[in-house]
Amino acid sequence: MARKTLEKTIKLAQDKLIKNPKNEIIDGIHVYTKQPINSLRLFDSSRSRQVLKKNQEKYKGITISKHFKGRILTNKYGKCYRISAVTKMDNYEPNQESAKRRLLFDLKVITGIAETTEGNLKNAGIRSISQLTKHFRYGNEAKAYLSLVENQNAVKIYEQLSMRFTSSNPLFLANSVFFKLSDIAFIDIETTGLSETPLFLIGIATFLDNHLIIDQIFAREPSEEMATLHFLGKYLKGKKAIVTFNGKSFDVPFIRKRMERHDLKHEINHPHFDLKYLSQKAFANIIFDFRLKTLERELFKIERIDDVSGYDIPFYYRTYLKTQNIGSVVPIIEHNKQDLISTVKLFLKLHQIWS
């Protein structure tokens, strides 16, 4: 009986979506695209609305500045709000010798060498880049690459790997060891849609010794997006690499488009380590759902309580704009912070596995 009722409700929602393609909410169900509505999403949205109502009651009359430690940032493009936090992390000792050995063992990093050629070379006794330097055809490029690795030229190594391999290759993680942790920015964003819409929250995490410094730059209204993006652009000038989860497909292209929309001239061309691709390689035989929530649950036993669904984040933010009740954005800010922490934990876990 319950299943029939559920199917009837889903069918009703789908019918109404066809008739009302611009509606954001239909009978309490959040709808953002014309994709089929499944039962899991339906239940997630229903629970999300209950959490929203509870939070609005809990935070009624409380301001962002009162609830979160932070301060107003002002630049030539306006204002935004910076929320700051510090989290202690486990000690991390990068194994540079192990990374160096891995980077110098794969001959396919050299132009013109694929699986078959590598096999032939190794059968002939050429098993490392060092030995390849004497080869009549590949020797010059092998010497140049060997010099990069010996001198730990992280950016140039990244460029060479990018010409030869996809983002899931473990050599990229080995390459990341040559960047100081304090020179890496972990990034995660929250937006009002999947494309051509404003973003309103940029989470940035960096290391200071064994502490994670988390800054979340929040646009309290859409007009603050430009100031938020400008802060990120200036901030990244002081960093040498970026780490994200699915950021090559979503976060960084989205940021670039929004910067272009506002005619901001910042360039984001940093070496970029996307942990979604690396995780798919590392855990292919033990995990079959490569969402960040799944990985953090399976690897770190993290269970989020009353976490806002990604589908509902645009609706929550729009609710905040209408009501100015921070109960609508507190879950988003906490969601973003946990995404950053889990991304960092995943980065360290992958190093532990592959070193």
User: Averaged over 9-24, what is the pLDDT?
Assistant: 50
Bridge-partner residues for 265, per DSSP?
A: none
- For residue 12, the model assigns a pLDDT of 58
Closest by CA to 216, choosing from 73, 59, 51, is 73
More confident residue, 48 or 55: 55
Q: Write out the E strands in 39-166.
A: 70-75, 78-88
- Give me the pLDDT at residue 209, please: 87
- Mean per-residue pLDDT, 310-320: 93
State the pLDDT confidence band at 5, using cuts at 50, 70 and 90. Answer: low
* Structure confidence at residue 26 as a pLDDT band (50, 70, 90): very low
pLDDT in tens, 113-160: 999 999 999 999 999 999 999 999 999 999 999 999 999 999 999 999
Name the β-bridge partners of 203. Answer: 188, 216
Is a pLDDT exceeding 50 seen at residue 91?
yes
Please state, rounded to an integer, the average pLDDT across all residues of the chain: 89
CB-based burial label for 128 (10 Å; 0-12, 13-18, 19+): middle
The Cβ of residue 84 has, within 10 Å, a number of other Cβ atoms equal to 12
Could you give all domains of the chain from N- to C-terminal order, each with its CATH number? 2-58 (no CATH), 73-90+181-354 (3.30.420.10), 96-176 (no CATH)
pTM of the model: 0.86
pLDDT band at 44 (very low <50, low <70, confident <90, very high): low
The pLDDT of residue 34 is above 50: no
Query: Which pairing describes strands 78-88 and 211-218: parallel, antiparallel, or unpaired?
Result: antiparallel
